[in-house]
Structure 1
Amino acid sequence: MATEHDTATGAQLDVDLYTREIFHDPYPTLERIRAAGPVVWNGLAGGWMVTGDAEIRKTLSNFKDFTLDGAPPQRLFGREAFIVIDNKPEHDALRNVWAPAFSRGAVQQLRPAILRIIDTMLAEFEERLRSGETVDAYTHFCRDIPAYVIAGMLGIPDSHRPDIVRWSDLMGAAVISPPAADGSLTPEWIAGEQAKAELAAFLIEQMQHRRRHPGDDLISHMVHAEPARTMSDDAIMKNCRQLLFAGNETTAKWLGHIMVVMDRHPDARRAVAADRSLITDANEEVMRFEPVVHRTHRRARGGDARIAGVHIPDGDLVIMLLGAGNRDPRRYERPQEFDIRRPAMGNLGFGFGMHSCLGVSLARVEAEIALSRLLDRIPGYRVAGEVGYQGLGLRGPTPLPVAL
């Protein structure tokens, strides 16, 4: 409880992180938290909120004093998934099974396949817009692109790709849904757990098939890799499941943000349309300005954990507000402005340190091709209604009504 914490060393500000207002526009609240101090106890959330870029990076790098063990991401992915493993040798052994497939060079080889998927999605979307419809761009364009790309890399048959989208969306809805006041399981959480179970059963079937019929796909790579010899099927499955979920939910929402931010900054859109060499910087600035993952978590351990001089008691939850870090005035000039010509410097949108995004190169290529093809074929698209935002853990514009 908040009364058990020494607020003489850390400020206290109770903030409900599950309101419609903060989902729609989190930045006024984030600035209010920043003004309260670098480390702020939130009794409603049961954790310490951190807003500064430097403090977030330092905390994410400090596995001695801060752990993912017992933190919310571990409940989502399972202890065996490398995305939540703190032990570096164990983490690296699993991550390195797939790292070559996500290198810049390997991803460049996927460009023709990615272009085909994007053009397929864009064809129907464009046709409906040109017929005069207002279309949800998230559902009918952004959503399926990364899901179909990562499913293809995993060797999942085309017929099952809609299932991948459905399972991922149910899991994502559980992540962003507010907890029940009485501690009971919410309908969103129950549906998300059911989706996790169905996806797990499907992946185990795929793994068993790859053992008998190995191919050049990511599931085959994992089941035949050295680490798998000492792992259970459940542990291997959880590593495959994390890739499917994290590898498509975040990118789909990033694509949605790109469409919205470009619509709201027409000068930037015209500049990018005229000079496609600006696309990479523009997309990175969208990720800084409107990150998908606004919060990530650790738990303090060992008794000596400190952030910005504030002692964090053993076992306490730390909530790192990445959206605030991405607008930290100590790191960025005019942080509240969208500027595609901002000097390049890494932001927190893809994580930081050992647990930074494995698929960042893939996501960047998908976003580059998607924005370029949009500007080729429907440069005059416009956001034609209220955009919805449902959470902070995975924040993206859905629905995203678009018209010509």
Structure 2
Amino acid sequence: MSPDTLYQRIIDYANRADPYPLYAELRENGVTRQEDGSYLVGTYHEIAALLHDPRVSSDSRSRADPSTVPMFRRNVHQAFIGLDDPEHDRLRRLTMRPFGPPHTPGRIDALRPDMTRISDELIDAFGDKDRIDIVEDFAYPLPVTVICRLLGVPYEDVPRFRAWTNAVIDGVDLTPGKDAESRQRAGQDAREAMGDYIGDLADKRRDHPTDDMLSALVHDNGPEGRLTRTELMATGTLLLIAGHETTVNLISNGALTFLRFPDAYRLLRDKPELMPRAVEELLRYEPPVHLLPQRTPLADIEVSDVTVPKGVPLILVLAAGNRDPLRFDDPDHFDPTREDNQHFGFGSGIHNCFGAPLARVEAQIALNALLPRLEGFRLSEDPPPYRRSSILRGPRHLPIERASDATF
């Protein structure tokens, strides 16, 4: 097929279960201009350079043609993930102060006992079931509970923001279809509703602070001042969504990969101290985020002898770069002991994932707790049903069942 259709084929749901042959085709064709005028990049070294290039913008307002900006990014105050420096740097630093070093170095470590306890409780609830949905019964409730505790969102409100999150993710879905506009509008409405919710919760924390991160953001008197209410709304929405969505995929993809590779399963079951390295390999091999569709050159730039014009959409396929044979040895092989592993699982550059430290710890604790419980189980279907999104890729459900002929 023609390389200028690669993007449409990648985002086609029919290819969600196994997009990797398309990623190999993309790498073979280099930087490719697509039918819609965007440019697609899937090779490791080119992606790395672009992620560190100050001439490449994350701000949708940099687009030469406003009609190429998805509805979900219009008329909504952007969190720092969708801004450039210096505004991005200011907001990110303000948000980092109550989250991690150097100002709050113990925030994540303090959550470890709770993560372990929640993981154990969820696994104990499996009981003697012969069939388990890893996503619904484990991979989703763990990070949702943790992010609620971290931010100070009452757990009884989880059903509300789960519905909002699903609508937002559906709204940024790139899969073509006649309902695209209505999905984008519903996603924008959900984003605004979630922002209003965060704003109201922040107002309560002004008068009645607790020990959660939202209270810390509201009352932070750092040298740059506090976040405005609008900035709090946008930042809180980002943290709520990103704080669990990618981790759900990471844990689910991890369980799926271990069930597909019995040798790796047995190695990690017997040597749990290898799990940190295995999580890094999962972030390379089956990452929770597959592509970044919102980059824009601020000037004409050369990428592998191809001129990408100023203002056009630039799409970085991170998952393709993660399996580039020019960067990784035997890249299509899952090796939980891999050492040289500077992947794009959390991006790179100034927009490197804010919550990466939390996601790493959650995944390590969760998968080490889950591994012994997989004994005697097999996948009920392979591939499992996947979520619709081509950006955030992971199983929608991951049913496993007890079987006498399981391979471990």
Q: Shared fold (TM-score greater than 0.5)?
A: yes
Q: Give the 3-state SS of the residue equivalent to 2:361 in structure 1.
A: helix
* 8 Å Cα contact 1:73/1:84 also seen in 2: no
**1:222 and 2:217 matched:** yes
| Percent of aligned pairs with the same amino acid | 32
Check whether the contact 2:291–2:391 (CA below 8 A) recurs between aligned residues. yes
User: Which whole-Å deviations, capped at 9, do the CAs of 1:109-147 have from their partners, x for residues lacking one?
Assistant: 2101111222232222x22xx232x23211221112111
- 1:156-182: per-residue Cα shift (whole Å, max 9, x none)? 11211232323222222222252446x
Q: Distance in 1 between matches of 2:74 and 2:285?
A: 26
Point out where structure 1 has 5 or more consecutive residues left out of the alignment. 1-10
Please report how far the alpha carbon of residue 152 of structure 1 lies from its aligned counterpart in structure 2 after TM superposition: 0.7
**Which position in structure 2 is the counterpart of 1:53?**
44
The answer for the alignment partner of 2:110 in structure 1 is 109
Task: Verify the 8 A CA contact 1:154 1:218 in the aligned structure 2.
Answer: yes
1:41 aligns with 2:36: no
What is the 5 A alignment of 1:5-404? 12-15=3-6, 16=8, 17-37=10-30, 39-44=31-36, 46-70=37-61, 75=73, 78-88=76-86, 90-100=87-97, 101-103=99-101, 105-124=106-125, 126-127=126-127, 130-132=128-130, 134-180=131-177, 185-226=180-221, 232-386=228-382, 387-389=384-386, 390-404=388-402
**RMSD across aligned positions (CA):** 2.4
2:259–2:378 CA contact under 8 A, matched in 1: yes
- Name the stretch that deviates more: 91-100 or 308-317: 91-100
Q: State the aligned residue count.
A: 385
Give 4+ residue runs of structure 1 displaced > 6 Å after superposition.
none
Letter in 2 for 1:394: L
Q: Is the 8 A contact 1:177 1:189 kept in 2?
A: no
Any conservation in 2 of the 1:136–1:401 contact (CA below 8 Å)? yes
TM-score by length of 2: 0.87
Is the 1:68–1:74 Cα contact (8 Å) retained in structure 2? no
Structure 2: runs of 5+ lacking an equivalent: 62-68, 403-408
CA distance in 2, matches of 1:231, 1:281: 36
Contact 1:299–1:315 (Cα < 8 Å) also in 2: no
Instruction: Note the alpha carbon deviations across 1:317-352, whole angstroms, 9 max, x for none.
Output: 111001110001111010111111212322001110
Alpha-carbon offset, residue 217 of structure 1? 1.6
CA distance in 1 between counterparts of 2:329 and 2:13 reads 29
The Cα shift of 1:189 comes to: 2.6
Contact 2:32/2:41, CA 8 A, preserved across alignment: yes
How far is the alpha carbon of 1:73 from its aligned partner?
Answer: 11
1:247-305 Cα shifts (integer Å, max 9, x gaps): 11000011100000000000000000000111111111111111111110344444332
Structure 1: which amino acid aligns with 2:326?
R
Q: One-letter code of the match for 1:64?
A: R
Residue 80 of structure 2 contacts residue 88 of structure 2 at CA under 8 Å; is this kept in 1? Answer: yes
The alpha carbon displacement at 1:231 in A equals 5.2
Q: Which amino acid aligns with 2:234?
A: K
Q: Note closer, same or farther for the CA distance 1:66–1:307 as it changes in structure 2 (3 Å cut).
A: farther
Partner deviation per Cα, 1:335-382 (whole Å, 9 max, x = no partner): 111111212322001110111111111111111111111123343332
Q: Normalising by the residue count of structure 1, what TM-score does the alignment of the two structures yield?
A: 0.88
Distance 1:76 1:69 in 2: 8
Task: Name the SS of the counterpart of 1:110 in structure 2.
Answer: helix
8 Å CA contact retained: 1:79, 1:85? no
Distance 1:237 1:65 in 2: 26
CA distance in 2, matches of 1:113, 1:193: 33
SS of the residue aligned with 1:311?
strand
Alpha-carbon deviations, 1:10-47, whole Å to 9, x = none? x952221332332111011111111112x111114x41
The amino acid of 1:61's aligned partner reads H
Bigger drift between 158-167 and 261-270 goes to 158-167
| Cα offset, 1:245, TM superposition | 0.5
1:315 counterpart letter in structure 2:
G
Partner Cα distance (1:309, 1:74) in 2 = 33
Confirm or deny: 8 A CA contact 1:102 1:359 kept in the other structure: no
